[in-house]
Chains A and B, each alone.
Chain A
Amino acid sequence: MTHTSRRAFFKAGGGLLIGFSLSDSGVLPHLVAADTLSTPEPGHLNAWMRIAKDETIRVFTGKVDIGMGVQTGLIQVVAEELDVSPARVQLTMGDTAATPDQGGVGGSTSISAGAKPLRNAAATARYLLLQMASANLGVPVEQLQVKDGIVSAKGDASKRVSYGALAGGGDLAETLRVSGGGFALNVEGKGKPKDPAGYTVVGQSLPRVDLPPKILGRATYSTDVRVPGMLHGRVIRPAGGGANVAGVDESSVKAIRGYVKTVVQRNFVGVVAESEWAAIRAAKELKVNWSSPAAAFPEDVYSHMRSATPKVTRELVHQGDAAAALAGAAKKVEASYEWPFQAHATMGPGCAVVDFHADGVTTVWTGSQKPHALQKGLAQMLGVRAEQVHVVWVEAAGSYGRAGDEDVAADAALLSQAVGKPVRVQWSRADMTAWGGKGPAAIVDLAAALDEQGGVTALEMISRAFSGTEIIPQANTAGNLLAAQLIGMPNTNGGDEFVQWAGSTYPYAIRNVRAVGHIIAPLYGSESPMRTTHLRDPNGPAGTFASESFMDELAAAAGADPIEFRLRHTEDARAKAVLMAAAERAKWEHRPSPKLSASGRGVALSLRGGTYVATVAEVEVDRHTGAVRVKRLVCAHDCGLIVNPAALRGTIQANLVQSLGRALKEEVTFDKTYVTSVDWNTYPVARWSDVPQVEVVLLNHPEIAPSGAGEPSSRPTAAAIANAIFDATGARVRRAPLTAARVKAALG
């Protein structure tokens, strides 16, 4: 197929089961009619939205939806500014040939930053449409009103014209001022966005547009993409870090019906077959001799982290004189906290379809959170220009960071390049859980000085952690991708990401603070199942487990009620408000901890990127077994203006349950050479019987621009539970997850 005919193929649709906009309720396929594979320039209004003759508005955004319903929120923002019913707005998300590059999804920024250019573009589109209507109707703009896309003269309903009649099918040719890039990309034009005080669509609990098609079995996930001539691939990962291919015996699988090819490039091994089952069988039965893997993983990771010479050390905060205050303290408290490696363990193991052609033009269907970055990394790996790679986002299983969609796309790309046909790869459960990137383990040592009145006068924090970004979340270089590393393209842009402790992540006002971060070198380079990358709220649960458990220890040392103690140490009205709202809903018993009873309650407060969360946990502890049952979680949440309360509530409720699993159960285990967390039995997550009563109190601030909401409620859960365990038992568990064995050991 030539380059030109491929474009025609896109235009014609070619039977592709792709690009369904889920907002169409699975009825109308949206097919990319790309004249070029270049990414649209954000400085043109047309790059953001087009109006059709049938009065629908097609919006193009570089954001994607990773299962939290953000597409519904973005539709509301656009519908609000345009004065149209949300039902008229349809989104195309995350397509490198059709949507501006907004950096994809990350950092809980999709609404806080990602909605801004959409809002401003829509406001400008409305401005232009009113100008056109004014000319069309002979009525001054000031005397026009808009209702659901119909412009009419105030007081004379006969003078009316619709958006579709004004601009349907044509171009809204207008230049916009562009600023920023990535998540911060913004545009501004002639139209001024509405005052939030007058919002009628934003702030409403519009039902999520993606859920009915999903529940009716009509939605299309990345796993469901099928293209003509598509083959199925599977990968065979090394026996551990440092294991090299010593030999591959293709005859071991040649008899499998439908078997096509074994692809070996250095340490990348994959099989391709006509059917999925044949590919699975071939991957299982292929005889590969691996050299011995490096015995790189320590028996006790925390001892290793304490004894290893740090790769990088940085003073993160230095205000006042913490050392002097600690030396002269009336009372000094010290404690150390440990957080394990954790896995994304997404529900659907990574899946992608890649169609590589001899001319280098490559189409990629992926659930990646960052399609525009992936385009660059894949192009580099394949040795083609970025403009030759068309990455099309298709909804996938919730990814919670850089889970695996990028790496599996690279696997599929190498296999498609090798066989010259489109190849779909889905990972096995072990490929996902054992070989997906990991959230890093961390140790946080804390010391504080208390004065005679029980006030914290100084705080010192020393963290020892693996970097949060040995693999950065943007797959914009080849070496970022596991398959590329396995064929010998090294990861060159890994970062040193510290446990966060400052500014927008710490809610208390303490005079003397010193924070030092150490980064521990990777356990075994990048071609390792233990390589680290972003997992939901990177470092947040780890750092907050430490800081908020410690705040509780300080409150206990001061003989103070944990909420009263926290209120005393913050000047921030919003921090105080979430604490008090959580306390009120939970009917918090004001008294110092511990209570020493069968049940207990604990609180934790956190701040992340402008979003305030206070969570109260109520637990029961079995003193004989150490087993913890969380009975109730109450979360008060303030992320400024709320776009969609019901969708926000759903995301927070789910995040509370997920983070409860991270607090109580989740820990990646390994032996000397390999990860031993390979499935749902060896990497357990929250299940039905773990789920407590969950209550969410939303504090809405329409006057404050929205901040992020996808991640912040992950943050305080583990500390709130640990603090509740202390309240019930007097035992302090400082290593997560808070397993029965650890609680029992702490009980003594």
Chain B
Amino acid sequence: MSHLSLKINGKAHAVDADPECPLLYVLRDDAGLNNPRFGCGLGQCGACTVLVAGVATRSCVLPVARAVGKDIVTLEGLGTPENPHPVQKAFIEEQAFQCGYCLNGWVLATKALLDKHPHPTEDQMKGAFEGLVCRCGSHVQIAAAVRRAAGMKRSA
């Protein structure tokens, strides 16, 4: 066990954790943040995605010790109900998702993608999203939300 200091959504959090413990459980169980979510624990689906130093990261396979000193942003830290992040706004406007359990991955991966490539190509989108699972199959609305967030014309 180690005393670790994490910077989550702009605030400092002191936690007492096994340095090998994946960041996911520290965020959920120590910091009390309900997003990210556990999907596989294997880095295969993205339900646990958070931004670590601006990079969409699978928190279920990242030892917490490796997140120390870096800016961690979870979905609840992206925007507020009064002032949603433009990416969240786009997803709300497109009514993306069925159950929404996977949405941390999609929303935060979109944020990270658009920060890097404001007008992403099809290949860049594939690179950002192929590793995410949406078991309900909401990809059509998700794609519309990504395009809306990027200010791109909707495909037919």
- Known contacts A215-B96, A221-B101; A347/B29 CB under 8 A: no
Q: Are A347 and B28 in contact (CB under 8 A)?
A: no
Name the one of A219, A277, A646, A685 contacting B21, with C-beta atoms under 8 angstroms: A277
CB-CB contacts below 8 Å: A206-258 with B: 207-208, 210-221, 223-224, 226, 232, 257
Q: Would A654 and B129 be within 8 Å (CB), given that A217-B78, A661-B137 are in contact?
A: no
A587 within 8 A of B: no
Cβ of A2 within 8 Å of any chain B Cβ, yes or no, is no
- Of A410-418, A496-504, A609-617, A687-695, the stretch lying at the interface with chain B is A687-695
B148 interface residue per 8 A CB criterion: no
Flag if A347 contacts B18 (CB, 8 Å). no
Chain B residues 22-61 with CB under 8 Å of chain A are 22, 25, 28-29, 32, 34-35, 37-42, 44-45, 47
Judged by a CB distance under 8 angstroms, whether A346 is at the interface is yes
A84 to chain B, nearest CB (A): 23
CA distance A398 to B99 in the complex (A): 5
Residues in B97-113 with C-beta less than 8 Å from chain A: 97-104, 107
Judge whether A429 is part of the interface by a CB distance below 8 angstroms: yes
A215 touches B100 (CB 8 A): yes
A221 contacts across to B, CB distance below 8 A: 34, 37, 101
Asked if B42 and A680 make an inter-chain contact with CB atoms under 8 angstroms apart, the answer reads yes
Q: Which residue of A is nearest B135, CB measured? A: A347
Task: Tell me whether B140 and A654 are in contact (CB under 8 A).
Answer: yes
Determine whether the beta carbon of A688 is less than 8 Å from that of B25.
no
Known contacts A211-B95, A277-B29, A397-B101, A217 near B74 by CB under 8 Å: yes
Taking the closest CB of chain A, its distance from the CB of B22, in whole angstroms, is 7
User: Which residues of the partner chain B approach A214 to less than 8 Å between Cβ atoms?
Assistant: 97, 100, 103
Set of chain B residues within 8 Å of A275, measured between Cβ atoms: 25, 29
For residue A204, CB closer than 8 A to chain B, the reply is no
Name the contact of A215 in the complex, choosing from B41, B77, B107 (C-beta under 8 A): B107
**Closest B residue to A399 using CB positions:** B99
Cα A349 to Cα B60 with chains together (Å): 14
Q: Does A469 contact B (CB under 8 A)?
A: no
Whether the pair A211, B40 counts as a contact (CB closer than 8 A) is no
Q: Does B92 contact A (CB under 8 A)?
A: yes
- Judged by a CB distance under 8 angstroms, whether B80 is at the interface is yes
Q: Which A residues lie within 8 Å of B103 (CB)?
A: 214-215
- Contact, CB under 8 Å: B137 / A656: yes
- Evaluate contact between B29 and A276: CB separation under 8 angstroms: yes
Q: A257 and B1 in contact (CB under 8 A), knowing A215-B88, A275-B29, A658-B136?
A: yes
**A686 within 8 Å of B by Cβ?**
yes
A551 touches B (CB below 8 Å): no
> Do A217 and B76 touch (CB < 8 A)?
yes
B7 at the interface (CB under 8 A from A): no
**Cβ of A66 under 8 Å from chain B:** yes
User: Is the C-beta of B79 less than 8 angstroms from some C-beta in chain A?
Assistant: yes
* CB 8 Å contact bits of B134-147 with A (1 = contact, 0 = none): 11111111010000
Q: Which of B91, B141, B156 makes the CB contact (< 8 A) with A650?
A: B141
Number of interface residues of B (CB under 8 A): 60
Q: Is B116 an interface residue, CB under 8 A from the partner?
A: no
Report the separation of the CA atoms of residues A429 and B42 in the bound assembly, to the nearest whole angstrom. Answer: 8
A200: min CB distance to chain B, Å: 21
Q: Which residues of B have CB within 8 Å of A669?
A: none
A211 and B97 contact, CB distance less than 8 A: yes
Distance of B140 from chain A, by nearest CB (Å): 4
Q: Chain B residues near A398: list those with CB within 8 A.
A: 98-99, 101, 135-136
With beta carbons under 8 angstroms apart, the residue of B21, B44, B107, B126 that contacts A680 is: B44
The answer to whether A653 and B141 have CB atoms under 8 Å apart is yes
By a CB distance below 8 angstroms, the chain B residues around A215 are 84, 88, 91-92, 96-97, 100, 103, 107
Specify the chain B residue showing the minimal Cβ separation from A429: B40
Q: A679 contacts B44, CB within 8 Å?
A: yes
Q: In this complex, what residue of B is CB-closest to A351?
A: B38
**Chain A residue, CB-CB nearest to B99:** A67
Q: Tell me, yes or no, whether A68 is within 8 Å of chain B by CB.
A: yes
B45 touches A680 (CB 8 A): yes
> For B77, what are the chain A residues with a Cβ–Cβ distance below 8 Å?
217
> B37 touching A223 by the CB < 8 A rule?
yes
* Interchain nearest-CB distance for A197 vs B (Å): 27
Contact with B along A650-669 (1 / 0, CB 8 A): 11011111111100000000
Taking the complex as formed, is A592 at the interface, i.e. its CB lies under 8 A from any CB of chain B? no
B99 touches A347 (CB 8 A): yes
* Closest chain A CB from B69 CB (angstroms): 21
Instruction: Answer yes or no: A76 CB below 8 A from chain B CBs.
Output: no
> For the complex, what is the distance from the CA of A69 to the CA of B97, rounded to whole Å?
10
> In B115-156, which residues have CB < 8 Å from any A CB?
125-126, 129-130, 132-141, 143, 155-156
Q: Does A345 contact B (CB under 8 A)?
A: yes
With contacts A223-B38, A655-B137 taken as known, whether A689 is within 8 angstroms of B126 at the C-beta atoms is: yes
Q: 1/0 per position for A93-109, CB-CB distance to B under 8 A?
A: 00000000000000000
- Once bound together, how far apart are the Cα atoms of A426 and B48, in whole Å? 14
Output the residue of A219, A232, A277, A346 with the most chain B CB within 10 A. Answer: A277
Is the C-beta of B75 less than 8 angstroms from some C-beta in chain A? yes
B42 & A679 in contact (Cβ 8 Å cutoff) = yes
Assembled-state Cα–Cα distance A650/B1 (Å): 46
Say yes or no: A679-B40 contact (C-beta < 8 A), given A211-B97, A217-B74, A654-B137. Answer: yes
User: Is A348 in the interface zone, CB < 8 Å from B?
Assistant: yes
Query: A396 in the interface, Cβ–Cβ < 8 Å?
Result: yes
The distance from the CB of B45 to the nearest CB of chain A, in whole angstroms, is: 6
Chain B residues whose CB sits within 8 angstroms of the CB of A658 once the complex forms: 135-137
Contact A396 B45, beta carbon cutoff 8 Å:
no
B10 at the interface (CB under 8 A from A): no
Q: Which residues of A contact B35 (CB under 8 A)?
A: 217
Which residue of the partner chain, among B81, B100, B107, B133, contacts A685 with CB atoms under 8 Å? B133
Segment 63-94 of B: residues with Cβ below 8 Å from A: 74-81, 84, 88, 91-92
Among B77, B81, B88, the most chain A Cβ lie within 10 Å of the Cβ of B81
B74 to chain A, nearest CB (A): 7
Residues of chain A with a CB closer than 8 A to B133's CB: 347, 680, 685, 687
Nearest CB in chain B to that of A691: its residue: B139
Check B99 against A397 for contact (C-beta < 8 Å): yes
Residues of A contacting B100 with CB < 8 Å? 67, 210-211, 214-215, 219
Show 11 residue pairs from A and B whose CB-CB distance is below 8 angstroms, ordered by the A residue.
A211-B96, A216-B76, A217-B35, A217-B75, A347-B39, A347-B136, A653-B140, A679-B40, A689-B130, A691-B143, A695-B156
* Further pairs besides A215-B97, A215-B100: 9, Cβ < 8 Å: A275-B25, A280-B25, A347-B99, A347-B135, A398-B99, A658-B137, A680-B42, A687-B130, A694-B140
Closest 3 CB pairs of A and B: A67-B99, A657-B137, A658-B137
